[in-house]
Amino acid sequence: METCIETPLGTAIISGDENGITSVSVTKEPKTKPSQDNIPVYLKEAVLQLKEYFNGERDVFDLKLNPSGTEFQKKVWDELLKIPFGKTVSYLDIAKRLGDPKCIRAAATANGKNPLWIVIPCHRVIGSDGSLTGYAGGLWRKKWLLDHENPVKQQSLF
């Protein structure tokens, strides 16, 4: 089953069934017109939580997830789920958490194959030098998401 919702970053396409959410992706062009009337029952909670996230009302997702991937990819995605809202880690940090700093490229590749946009927060992984590297949805989206999660509050000078 599939449904779409509009977000500030494009149309989110949410897929899943009774076993959980299998994918959340973003596109500029909707595959189908978003409709609040016929959201499949298994996707209603994901729609609600994504809307709350974009409205600044949610910083942790509580959804039944069922992504398809290799065992290694799933281990990487599990590590991504541990990155707190508003925080970032490097690809090397992820590799170290997996127990092998040498697997940094494999971890980065698995990060890029994340099928659950935003829900599994691959956007919170940055380069060791603090640069915004590698984001399948485009670096402008990654920057937007990081700013959304950790907005710089300008203090009044007067």
**What DSSP string runs through 67-132?**
----HHHHHHHHHHTTSPTT--EEHHHHHHHTT-GGGHHHHHHHHHT-SBTTTS-GGGEE-TTS--
Q: Does 126 lie in the same domain as 90? A: yes
Provide the pLDDT for residue 132: 86
Q: Consecutive sets of 10 residues in the chain, 158 residues long: mean pLDDT of each?
A: 92 95 86 66 95 95 97 97 95 94 93 95 92 84 93 57
The CATH number that applies at residue 133 is: 1.10.10.10
Provide the pLDDT for residue 138: 85
Provide the pLDDT for residue 12: 93
Q: Which of 65, 110, 120, 122 is catalytic?
A: 122
Query: What single letter denotes the amino acid at residue 85?
Result: F
Provide the pLDDT for residue 104: 93
Give the domain range for residue 21.
2-55
- Does residue 158 lie in a domain region? no
Q: Does 51 lie in the same domain as 75? A: no
Q: Which two tokens stand for residue 24?
A: 């959340």
Q: Does 75 lie in the same domain as 119? A: yes
- Does residue 111 lie in a domain region? yes
* Cα 7–Cα 73–Cα 98 angle in degrees, nearest 5: 115
- Active-site residue 122, yes or no? yes
pTM score, two decimals?
Answer: 0.88
Provide the pLDDT for residue 40: 87
Provide the pLDDT for residue 135: 81
